Each structure stands twice: as structure tokens, then as C-alpha cells.
Amino acid sequence: MDYQEVIKYLVDEVPMFQKVGGSAYKEGLDNTCALDEHFESPHRHYKTIHVAGTNGKGSCSHTLAAILQMAGYKVGLYTSPHLVDFRERIKVNGSMIDEDYVTRFVSSNIDFFKGLSPSFFELTTALAFSYFKDMGVDVAVIEVGMGGRLDCTNIIKPDLAVITNISLDHVQFLGNTLEQIAAEKAGIIKRYVPVVIGEANGHTRPVFEKKANEVGTEIVFAEDTPAVISASRTDDGYLYHCNGFGEIFGGLAGDYQVKNTNTVLYAVGLLRDKGYDLPDAAVKAGFKDVCCLTGFCGRWQTLGHNPLVICDAGHNVGGITWVVEQLSAIERDNLYIVIGMVGDKDIDGVLDLLPRDAHYIFTKAGIKRALDEHRLQQLALSNGLSGETAPDVPSAYELALAKAKSGDVVFVGGSCFIVADLLSYINNKGH
């Protein structure tokens, strides 16, 4: 098998939640344990940090990886989903996994995989853990795929666990209350592994406290005594004034990054307590250069000016709430929103948040889970939103650009898959 054949096998023959949704979800850790045994538990050869949460776990994972890298550690980073290239999921010091390694890993174990029938995420996790071992990383930042308790990343024994926040998402798998979802994500809390909780409320805090007490570990709620004293927007990020760190510039621009920054700073403190050498200079450099150090993209990313063009991968009520608040703060003439969603999200909840004065172009991403653009338009109309349709993201994007003038704003989002299609189109167009 060559690399393209391997990717075709992973995408077309292995059940992939990103592509087909619930039918790819496999509850339980039986396959994960079988893969771990087959590859001789590679994750035991390096330190790990585990990051869960409904929103913000990607930003926190990438920022922690950037800080560790600037402190001189060789750092593995495992995140999902990918936007443009499968290899984005698995990186070492910001460089994507080698195509040759992916090819060898899959082709040399293909018979075992076919006999086991793992999901896409189960197989990809085994690939990441093995790659990090073979690359000799010092520490790997591991982002949970979904939930926590039964997520296949949960076989690791990390030095630190991070849970960013809880909101309603993946309710068909994790539960339809905040308490139920918090209980699933609290499944990453383990004995003697300190955990930092980024945000909690009256529904979720007791769940986390109960779990931490059960296993006898330290739990820190970052909101209780915020490390971030104040934050101000700049043209290309945020300037934070922080307890213990002074002034920090953050290269991630979304308003929700203020919460993530507070969470990461508490995580840094707990890692220092565990013996990690993380000088203030490394912390500041990691925050400042997180995008170029890790290749992170698609989070309140500016793609153009005059008109201002922004994309963001927020896709649930929690994420869209922040997006709408930040859009409302931008001085503008007209607002054009290119939006598409997947069918298993809280579509009415998201549509209810969106501004009524925007012009909408409803579209769909190139995956089976995508909601038909005409159906989305109908649902939006019943929520007081009006606009037109386009059959795919590139045509929707070009239509918005044709309509927008200097002084207008074009926003593209509603799903990470919409952003993925947009960035793929722009990258290909640039070539």
C-alpha cells in the first residue's frame, strides 16, 4: 500500500465519526485495549497530559504543546478532527507525522486491523501513541476525542488532566443534561493525577468534586481565583495582564481565548508542581507563537480585509454564543454569514443565537453528516433568519465575497467541517 491507498482505507473502510457520525461510535475500550496490547503500550514510554471538555480543548492542547516546546521538551500533540490534512492530528514539535510512517504502520498491521475492525479514532489513537514512542518524545499532549470515560485515549496515566468546560454536545452519546456530560468527561480524572477545571457551574462542579474525592486527587477550579486579571483585544490577538506572569500576548484571537488562557496558566502551575521546567519566557513565547509553533488554525482566523473575512470552527451552543458576541462587537456595515451544520447538533439552539440582521448563505460541507442546505434554510427561516443557498462551501464563500463591500464582514462557520472545506479550497486556490 502507498500513502494514498492507506488514507483511502482509513477514510472509506474504517468507520469514521467525522464522516458518518454515530455509526462509527464504538462504546467501550475492548478494541483500544487489544490495540494497546498489540503495540505493547507505547504510551508508557513518555509523559502525557490529558485534555477534555466541550469547547476549548483544542486551543488549550495546542497552547500547552507550544509552551512545552518553547521550554525545550520534545512534544507530541494528538488532536482531532483534522481540517485539511489527516496528518494534522499527529504532530511532534509542530511537524505533522511522516507519510511513510502512516503507510508502514497501516500496511504492516492491516491483517490485524481487519480482524479487529477498529473505528477510525481507535486506529488513529494507536498510530499516534506508537509514533510518539518511536519519535522519542518527552511528553505528549493528548486531546480527548469525545467524552472521556470511554474515550480510547483514556488508557493513559497522565501527569495532569484538564477539563475546559461543559455544554450540551454529542448528547446522543454522552447524555442530555450537563450533569451527565460532566460525569462522562470526569472519567479522565484518575488517582494521584491533579486536574484543573477551566469552567464549572452549579450543575457540573459537584460532579467533578465527587469524582476527585472518590479517587483522592487534587482538583483546581481555575475560575475561583483567575490568573487573568484583564484582557484587551489587539489587531492580531489578545494582551493579558496576569497574576504571577505579568503581561502575556496571546496569538489566538477569539474572545473565548480569555477563558482558555486562564485554564492554561493554571495547568502550567500544576505542571511546575510536578517538576516540569517551564520558565515564564517559555510560557509567554508559547502563547504568542502558538499558531506557527503548532500549525493551529480555524479558530477566529482572519482570512482577509476589506471586507473583513473571519472563520471559526465553533459548532455548538457554547461555541456559537462566543462567536455571536464577538461579531456584535465589530464595527461594520453589512454582515454576511456563510453557515452549514451537521444534522446531529442542536440546530435550533444555534440558529436561535444568530443575529437577525445578517444576510445568510446556507451551505453544506462535503460529508454525509452534513445537513442539506435547503433544510437548514427552512429551519433558519422559522427562527427569523433569511438568505439564500449554495451547494458547497467554495461557491457559498465566493458568493459572499461577491456581495460584500469594503466595510462589510463575512463570517464562515457553523461546523468545523465547513471551516475545513473553506481552508482546503483557499489552500488549493493558492496553489
Do 288 and 315 lie in a common domain? no
Could you tell me the pLDDT band of residue 348, with boundaries at 50, 70 and 90? very high
State pLDDT tens for residues 286-328. 999 999 999 999 989 999 999 999 999 887 888 899 899 999 9
pLDDT tops 70 at residue 399: yes
Distances (CA, A) of 237 to 50, 256, 291, 300, 423: 26, 12, 11, 10, 20
Give the integer Cα–Cα distance in Å for 242 and 290.
Answer: 18
Q: What cell was used for 240?
A: 493579558
What's the pLDDT at 24? 43
Q: Which residue has the higher pLDDT, 15 or 10?
A: 10
Whether residues 60 and 99 share a domain: the answer is: yes
Section 165-182 average pLDDT: 74
Indicate whether 172 pLDDT > 80. no
What local confidence, expressed as pLDDT, does residue 343 receive? 82
State the chain's mean pLDDT as an integer. 92
- Please state, in angstroms and rounded to a whole number, the distance separating the CA atoms of residues 187 and 34: 20
Distances (CA, A) of 408 to 2, 327, 368: 46, 12, 32
Mean pLDDT calculated for residue range 361-383: 94
- Could you tell me if 122 and 14 are in contact, meaning their C-beta atoms sit under 8 angstroms apart? no
What does the pLDDT read at residue 369?
Answer: 84
Helices (H) and strands (E) in the chain, counts: 18, 17
Total domains in the chain come to: 2
Looking at residue 372, its pLDDT comes to 96
Q: 267 and 306 share a domain?
A: no
Q: How many CB atoms lie within 10 A of CB 275?
A: 8
Query: In the block, which residue shows the cell 437548514?
Result: 376
Q: Which of 141, 148, 154 is CA-nearest to residue 175?
A: 148
Confidence of residue 121 (pLDDT cuts 50, 70, 90): very high
Compute the Cα dihedral for 189, 193, 199, 203 and give only its sign: positive
Least confident stretch, 5-14, 79-88, 352-361: 5-14
The answer to whether residues 324 and 382 belong to one domain is yes
Tell me how far the alpha carbon of residue 107 is from its chain's centroid: 28
The average pLDDT across 13-23 equals 55
pLDDT of res. 20: 46
Question: What integer pLDDT is reported at residue 21 of this predicted model?
Answer: 47
* pLDDT of res. 429: 80
Same domain, 116 and 249: yes
Any idea what the CATH number is for the domain that residue 242 is in? 3.40.1190.10
β-pairing, 139-143 vs 160-163, is unpaired
Q: Is there a single domain that holds both residue 280 and residue 422?
A: no
CA angle 207, 212, 215 (to 5 degrees): 130
Share of the chain above pLDDT 90, in %: 79
By C-alpha distance, which of 343, 364, 358, 375 is closest to 411? 358
Neighbours of 64 (CB within 10 A): 27
pLDDT at position 12, please? Answer: 83
The pLDDT, as a whole number, for residue 23 is 44
Q: The domain containing residue 359 runs over which residues?
A: 301-430
Q: Averaged over 109-127, what is the pLDDT?
A: 94
User: Are residue 137 and residue 270 in the same domain, yes or no?
Assistant: yes
Give SS3 for 375.
helix
Whether 82 and 108 share a structural domain: yes
- Sign of the Cα pseudo-torsion (313, 318, 322, 325, in order): positive
Q: Distance of alpha carbon 415 from its chain centroid, rounded?
A: 12
Listed residues 294, 329, 360: the one ending a domain: 294
C-alpha cell at 27: 462504546
Based on the domain organization, do 274 and 386 belong to the same domain? no
Q: Which ranges in 289-415 belong to alpha helices (H)?
A: 290-294, 317-328, 347-351, 373-382, 393-403
Q: Give CA separation, 345 vs 69, 148, 374, 376, 414, in Å.
A: 35, 19, 17, 12, 10
Of 266, 294, 322, the one marking the end of a domain is 294
* Residue 26 C-beta-side C-alpha neighbours within 13 Å: 17
Report the C-alpha gap between 17 and 22 in whole angstroms. Answer: 6
Specify whether the CB–CB gap between 290 and 283 falls below 8 A: no
* pLDDT number for residue 424: 93
Q: Band of the pLDDT at 255, cuts 50, 70, 90?
A: confident
> How confident is residue 173, by pLDDT bands cut at 50, 70 and 90?
low
For 133-149, what is each residue's pLDDT tens digit? 999 999 999 999 988 89
Of 247, 267, 294, which residue constitutes the final position of a domain?
294
Angle between helices 99-108 and 120-134 (to 10 degrees): 120
Q: What is the CATH number of the domain that holds 313?
A: 3.90.190.20
Same domain as 335, residue 279: no
pLDDT given at position 158 = 98
Whether residue 141 is found in the same domain as residue 172: yes
Does 102 lie in the same domain as 20?
yes
C-alpha cell at 430: 493558492
